[in-house]
Amino acid sequence: MKIKWSIIAMVIMIATVLSGCEPLMVLDPKGPQAARQARDILLSIGIMSVVGIIVFAILIFILIKYRASKMGNDYEPPHIEGNTWVEAICVGIPILIVAYFSFVSVQSNYIVESAPKGYDNEPLVIYASSSDWKWHFSYPEEGIETVNYLNIPTDRPLEFRLYSYGPITSFWIPQLGGQKYAMSDMITTLHLAADEVGEYMGRNANFSGKGFAENMFDVKAMTQADFDDWVNEVKEREKPLTEEKFEELLKPGHLGRMTFTGTHLEFMPPPGDHSEHNKKSNKSNEEHDEHSSESESSMDHSEMNMDHSDH
């Protein structure tokens, strides 16, 4: 009787505690990538729960049915051969479960790694770079940059290009998708999208020193019209980002929210991105080719004039 009431009290206590908890962010998706991952998590939990319940049910059955009894000292248990069907089930079912999980994982991986489907507009490209212990968000198309906060439009694909000015970090917005590493010598690309207006939490999910715990950023998803208004407001009110100011921002420490016009991509391009260099190089080559053509043309005219004077 005491055991019964102890179990009831424990169940009531657990239910009371859990009723005050907010839903897990990874299971409260606000975008297509996160929704796919949440579906896979729930699928895994469901299958593992069924397996666990069956295994414990069989265990209880075996313990009760084949429990020790009062037999004589001369009792000798009968010899039992292995059962082919039991062995096939014990080996075959785990193989089928692992094969199914592998298929689902590979399929989902290709889906979440590619650009979200079902959107008509072009992806918004955002360079997200980390330093000790802050996040810098560069909007090259809009010509603005923010520190420790991120504003994004809803119903539009987002293409994050990640890299780091310090140790390896991990860019993660749980309600929009999974995490991906940001490294110092290369750019990694993460595709996300937000389907609902709201405020979300973003953070560095990889330990990167003593300031790791506060290495977070705010995310605000808004309509495209509100996003455009915000961009115009930034261009009207905020000061430009200079190279000296950006080098100051890279120093280790914590900062609040900051906003600038222009981006650090203009004077400090990301690793492996030589687009500006290539543009300048191509322009220089074009000018050189044009100058060479003019020189050759003038030389040809001079030769023709010399030939005409000889005649």
| Residue 147 confidence (pLDDT) | 97
| pLDDT of 169 higher than 90 | yes
| Residue 16 confidence (pLDDT) | 61
The full 3-state SS of 120-143, as one line of letters, equals CCCCEEEEEEEECCEEEEEECCCC
| pLDDT of 179 higher than 70 | yes
| Residue 71 confidence (pLDDT) | 74
| Residue 136 confidence (pLDDT) | 97
Q: What is the mean pLDDT of residues 202-206?
A: 94
Other CB atoms within 10 A of residue 285 CB: 10
| Residue 278 confidence (pLDDT) | 39
| pLDDT of 293 higher than 90 | no
What is the value of pTM for the model shown? Answer: 0.76
Looking at the chain, the whole-number percentage of residues with pLDDT higher than 70 is: 81
Q: What is the mean pLDDT of residues 176-202?
A: 95
The full set of domains in the chain, from first to last, is: 24-63+87-114 (no CATH), 124-266 (2.60.40.420)
Q: What is the mean pLDDT of residues 147-166?
A: 96
CA neighbor of 198 nearest in space, from 172, 162, 222: 222
pLDDT in tens, 102-150: 999 999 999 999 999 999 899 999 999 999 999 999 999 999 999 999 9
Q: What is the mean pLDDT of residues 142-159?
A: 97
Sheet harboring 158-164: ordered strands across? 188-192, 158-164, 124-131, 134-139, 144-147, 258-261
Give the phi and the psi of residue 273 in degrees, each rounded to 5: -100, 100
Looking at the chain, the whole-number percentage of residues with pLDDT higher than 90 is: 66
| Residue 298 confidence (pLDDT) | 46
CA dist 205 to 39, 135, 242, 288, Å? 21, 13, 29, 49
| pLDDT of 304 higher than 60 | no
The residue that leads in pLDDT, 94 or 23, is 94
| Residue 198 confidence (pLDDT) | 96
pLDDT in tens, 233-244: 999 999 999 999
| Residue 19 confidence (pLDDT) | 52
CA neighbor of 112 nearest in space, from 228, 190, 224: 190
Classify 223 as helix, strand or coil. coil
pLDDT in tens, 50-93: 999 999 999 999 888 878 777 777 878 778 788 888 899 989 99
